[in-house]
């Protein structure tokens, strides 16, 4: 099962907006706030790589308060 971690950097004060948008996205397994260069880590799991990429590009990167992302695809 393809898995990825998406590190998100968002605009100040946007945490709740992003959490609200991510809570119903299929494939998102876990969302954690972190204290780092990035503000949040999202774990995604899917049946195939295409679906995983769609979650990243259509549901995370399109949120207007997301400033940048870094995607780490798990290689087992």
User: Digits of tens for pLDDT over the chain (76 positions)?
Assistant: 899 999 999 999 999 999 999 988 999 999 999 999 999 999 999 999 999 999 999 999 999 999 999 999 998 7
Domain ranges of the chain: 3-73
What CATH number was assigned to the domain covering residues 3-73? 3.30.70.920
pTM for this entry: 0.91
Write out the DSSP string of 5-23.
EEEEEE-TT-HHHHHHHHT
> How confident is the model over 9-20, as pLDDT tens digits?
999 999 999 999
- Phi, psi of 17, rounded to the nearest 5 degrees: -60, -45
């Amino acid at each position: 099962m393809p898995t990825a971690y998406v590190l998100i950097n968002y605009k100040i004060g946007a945490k709740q907006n992003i959490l609200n948008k991510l809570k119903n996205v299929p494939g998102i397994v876990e969302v954690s706030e972190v204290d780092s260069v990035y503000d949040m880590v999202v774990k995604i799991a899917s049946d195939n790589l295409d679906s995983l990429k769609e979650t990243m590009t259509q549901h995370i990167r399109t949120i207007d308060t997301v400033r940048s992302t870094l995607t780490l695809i798990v290689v087992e």
